[in-house]
Structure 1
């Protein structure tokens, strides 16, 4: 954790949180949110796992075992990928950055070791040498409209998702989402992403990076509020053991629909062609009358008759929107349904 005056660790507030090891806030979470929404702030996300994948065949190898089109991955390019189970359920989600000699994958806190174990099992005779680099490298993220004043990176390029039963060969043989990546002079990478600019930097240079950037620090609570408002799902919060990519809007960012066979591909194709995933990701507004405490991840969402129709992933207090939550609901829940989450009434945001 970036150890400065006023930093309050996540684990000091939530001892069992998956986000232990970084600051929840630096004294004023709402002010920090406003900074990220209107200016620029730096968020410590150094609890994320970082894997380094060097080797001459790294691009074609990752292409063959993940959901993304990576066969021609080149230096200066980033994207997202998933690893699925044989039945198409989401097992791992990683952000990708390529520097010309190594493909870097950063993933959820605590997930790097398991992802590395999977990758090592899939090596066979391929010329790749994946390793866990989390002890040496850290992820920091610049968030806010002024972030591009510090790093002039192109906006993400997101390709359209084809309709059901599209013609073979009609999807470009490129990553479905491309993020601009730049090598930093002091070492490390800057990658433009969906929520900001991620910096993958040596851990021993974090203090130098903070001094050079000279922007306010914001805690993970502020970052999570921006993520929820932007409807960006997070593995382990907006997912469970049954989650498939189409349920949480990861087809566009992380899944290429015409790249050939990979584990779980049959389920992805079948659900896409039928067009009816069993569940969907939604943004909920909670009334906050009975309680101002956001519900815990996994809290049931119920219909007016008491039936469970889904679960809460991440709930936050947003500086403008009030209490909001990302939730995964059954597909047949009407958009205008009156829902309950514990003591709170909730409504689906249709925006």
Structure 2
């Protein structure tokens, strides 16, 4: 992570109870440099990634991006990624820890194509600006914004430092991600914080960011996405899976599930009906005394006034509004009532209250 703390350039930390109102009018900054960034180049780069992922990479135009799953031969999820196409490369990004499965897999199959595979994670930074005025801050910094559209991106500069700017909304708020060379990170962060003072820029710590991610329904590798999952269980079919692209590694399993019409479990949002805090570790979901799901991520939501969670629920019990019980895997603790929610489960605006 970039040591912005020690250089006196961080903005004020926002109090959790003010988070939602703050981000309606003020941008939030978080350092996401610990994420994985892999550059795939070479003449066969589109064909290569097309044959290893669930989305249609061959149709991905320069300046565009999309989500995808990297699947094993058995159709299990080795990675949940975004792919960003530039003139001579495709940038693959995923969550911390994702390189352990992805890099060996990509390099194993890369020997059959004219491609280069370079892990740029340690050489680059990644900042995210979240909130309605994130674009205003970037304009103040003199950068050119990408065209409207999720994962649209382009090359520009901030304070003379070349960066890649990406439109994305992992928090459920309009957002912009900034990627550049690691040596330029302190300079870019300092300029954003200096210019951001007039817009009320606030720093989001990882816990606050995770809360926003949970409410937005953005899955995280290692929590909602593991190598035990099937792609359709994550509920990102419209964003991350093409069912008409043709053959790719694991396609037979994905197509068979599509033909059957559903998977046995699916990722859903969950709201607790009492305000006491909760942890996802070992927590299971039950209905009529039977285990029908598990939690993967939890956080207390000031916007809802209760804990919220992401978790997998058996499809038969996954309709929004269904009430379930949550407790420890070995039956420890008092059962807590939860209600199943569709994603995203963004809280109502404070102004509408």
Short-chain TM bin: 0.7 to 0.9
Give the RMSD, CA atoms, in angstroms.
2.5
Bigger helix fraction? 2
The 3 A distance-change label for structure 1 pair 142 and 121 is same
The 3 A distance-change label for structure 1 pair 58 and 68 is same
Would you say 1:244 and 2:235 are equivalent positions?
Answer: no
The 3 A distance-change label for structure 1 pair 242 and 207 is same
- Find the partner of 1:203 among 182, 204, 207: 182
Shift of 1:34: 4.3
Q: Which residue of 2 aligns with 1:300?
A: 284
The 3 A distance-change label for structure 1 pair 270 and 141 is same
TM-score by length of 1: 0.81
* Distance in 1 of aligned mates of 2:211 and 2:108: 37
What is the CA deviation profile of residues 32-65 of structure 1, one whole-angstrom value per residue up to 9, with x for unaligned ones? Answer: 5543354311111111111111212211211122
TM-score by length of 2: 0.80
Would you say 1:349 and 2:333 are equivalent positions?
Answer: no
Shift of 1:334: 5.8
* Distance in 2 of aligned mates of 1:2 and 1:124: 34
Would you say 1:153 and 2:146 are equivalent positions?
Answer: yes
The 3 A distance-change label for structure 1 pair 337 and 48 is same
Task: Count the aligned residue pairs.
Answer: 311
Q: Which residue of 2 aligns with 1:232?
A: 218
Q: Which residue of 1 aligns with 2:81?
A: 94
The 3 A distance-change label for structure 1 pair 78 and 297 is farther
- Find the partner of 1:315 among 295, 298, 312: 298
Contact 2:82–2:92 (CA under 8 A) maintained in structure 1 = yes
What is the CA deviation profile of residues 252-307 of structure 1, one whole-angstrom value per residue up to 9, with x for unaligned ones? Answer: 11111111111111121122222221112211111344x32x3224521122x332
Contact 2:4–2:189 (CA under 8 A) maintained in structure 1 = no
* Distance in 1 of aligned mates of 2:15 and 2:6: 9
Q: Which runs of 5+ in 2 are unaligned?
A: 140-144, 328-333, 346-353
What is the CA deviation profile of residues 176-224 of structure 1, one whole-angstrom value per residue up to 9, with x for unaligned ones? Answer: xxx2111122223111123322222222222222222233221122222
Q: Which residue of 1 aligns with 2:268?
A: 282
Give the 3-state SS of the residue equivalent to 1:122 in structure 2.
helix
* Distance in 2 of aligned mates of 1:276 and 1:27: 41
Contact 1:277–1:331 (CA under 8 A) maintained in structure 2 = yes
* Distance in 2 of aligned mates of 1:6 and 1:287: 41
Q: Which residue of 2 aligns with 1:193?
A: 168
